[in-house]
Homo-oligomer: A and B are copies of this chain.
Amino acid sequence: MTVLAYGTNAGDKPLAPMNISRRAPGAHDVQIEIDYCGVCHSDLHQARSEWPGTLYPCVPGHEIIGHVSAVGAGVTRFAVGETVGVGCLVGSCRSCFSCDDGMEQYCEHGFIGTYNGHSTEPPGHTLGGYSQRIVVEDHFVLKIAHKENLAGVAPLLCAGITTYSPLRHWGAGPGKKVGIVGIGGLGHMGIKLSHAMGAHTVAFTTSESKREDAKALGADEVIVSKNADEMKAHGRSFDLIINTVAASHNLDVFVNLLKRDGTMVMCGVPDHPHPAFNVGGLIFKRGTIAGSLIGGIAETQEMLDFCAEKGIWAEIEMIKMQEIEAAFERMRKSDVKYRFVIDNSTIAE
């Protein structure tokens, strides 16, 4: 079946309308008409070949909310008409120890991304949510309990789970002091989620102008990281720091803020490596620098249910599909509060 999408055939070409084919749903497939798709920085990096290995044509998009239009004969958990989500993963080996543990994102054979992943169907790789429809194996489809503002749910599927997973894994909650570095798509979700988990939540920003915004998102305190005195006052006090900044920056200044046994979790991959860090900074407090990648399907469902229960949505700016290039350029300048979401009904306009 042919559907309309927005994609590009080369890194130096803007996104434009194109026809793509979607398979007829197999026995375990869910066919989804896409209502909204969040715009992640990864979409831009991949489409523009700023990350290696982009396969063209490239149709980005992995923060997908839609409704079921057909299900395969073997699908029991989803019914036509139901609102569902698809995040960054549409496949994995399902048999390695990480998949067995419900952590498909760490699949030992490599997970299949919602776009730019290996596929046996034309064009030989997966095509994402900047399109009218997607067909996904039921295991990788999420239930959506939110009843309204579904566009604001879309970013939970990447920005939300990317911060939720490390917050949960490293024990954010009452009695813990948690820092969120960077107040963008990921960071603004990190603040909301950490606050909702009951942690004392501290937002770091490079800009004084974001102080009130961060408090409005739920931060108990805001630190302007350029202010050395303000930073020093928080030395050796953080149990956990979620670092969402993808630009290369000095890690030592944040390691210095960790408490004994504290952890800084890196969620972004910079174009250029962060400068060499001081190992001594970790040694004298048994500190750790960790990495974390999105979340598994079970944990993503847990996150969606948590957000529905707590009334958490992403802060978004809705755009038409035709506005994607302008949105990309604004995103480069961090000129968005805090996530663009495409109204996919506009694709055919």
Contact = CB atoms under 8 A, between A and B. Distances in A.
Contacts of A284: 106, 291, 293
B279 A270 contact: yes
B291 A286 contact: yes
A175 interface: no
Contacts of A269: 279-280, 283
A267 interface: yes
A311 interface: no
B286 A293 contact: yes
Interface string A260-275: 1001001111100111
A282 B291 contact: yes
Interface in A211-233: none
Interface string A275-305: 1111111111111111111000000000000
Contacts of A290: 282, 286-289
A183 interface: no
Interface in A238-273: 260, 263, 266-270, 273
A285 B263 CA distance: 16
Given A236-B108, A260-B103, A293 B283 contact: yes
A98 interface: yes
B286 A282 contact: no
Contacts of A291: 279-288
Contacts of A285: 106, 291
A13 interface: no
A169 interface: yes
A103 B261 CA distance: 11
A265 to B, nearest CB: 9
A278 B266 CA distance: 11
A271 to B, nearest CB: 11
Contact of A273 (B103, B236, B279, B287): B279
Nearest to A255: B291
A42 to B, nearest CB: 12
Contacts of A270: 279
A237 to B, nearest CB: 10
Contacts of A268: 279
Contacts of A266: 279, 282-283
Which of A108, A260, A268: most chain B CB closer than 10 A?
A260
Interface in A67-121: 97-98, 103, 106, 108
A289 B293 contact: no
B260 A106 contact: yes
A288 B289 contact: yes
B106 A286 contact: yes
A23 B108 CA distance: 61
Contacts of A169: 286
Contacts of A279: 266, 268-270, 273-274, 291
Nearest 3 CB-CB pairings of A with B: A282-B291, A283-B291, A273-B276
Interface of A: 97-98, 103, 106, 108, 169, 236, 260, 263, 266-270, 273-293
Given A106-B286, A277-B277, A279-B291, 16 more contacts: A103-B260, A106-B260, A106-B284, A266-B279, A266-B283, A269-B279, A269-B280, A273-B276, A273-B278, A274-B279, A275-B276, A282-B290, A283-B292, A288-B289, A288-B291, A289-B289
